[in-house]
Amino acid sequence: MKLRSSQLLVTDDGKIIMGNGRMAILESIDQTGSINQTSKDLKMSYKTVWSKIKSTEKNFGKPVVLADRKKGTELTKEGRRLLEQYRELKKHCIRSDDAIFETLFLKIPE
């Protein structure tokens, strides 16, 4: 038996700012510099990727990517910070969740 944790960063009214899918989008854009390549790599339509970016920006209240037809696409300073903080949050949550899971399910009382 294993525990699979998932963290979802949402606004006060429940609108998604960041989750695993959006993290993958931002990571791919950071690596490829391209929304088009990101959509291919993640097997999503360009429109879906762009829609998720725009939704994140609206819900986060700050731009997360800067798209330029000549230079390509890159994360903004705020986008990079959001991605890094979300990664750190996930790491801490998973560590805590694993400890709780182990205490409740894997330590068999004698």
Q: What tens digit of pLDDT does each residue of 71-103 get?
A: 899 999 999 999 999 999 999 999 999 999 998
Written as six digits, the tokens of 62 are 């700050």
The domains of the chain, with CATH numbers, are 9-104 (1.10.10.10)
**Higher local confidence (pLDDT), 71 or 21:** 21
Taking 90 as the threshold, does the pLDDT of residue 40 lie above it?
Answer: yes
pTM (2 d.p.): 0.89
Rounded Cα distance, 67 and 63, in Å: 10
Q: Phi, psi (5° rounding) for residue 16?
A: -70, 130
Taking 90 as the threshold, does the pLDDT of residue 109 lie above it?
Answer: no
pLDDT of residue 54: 98
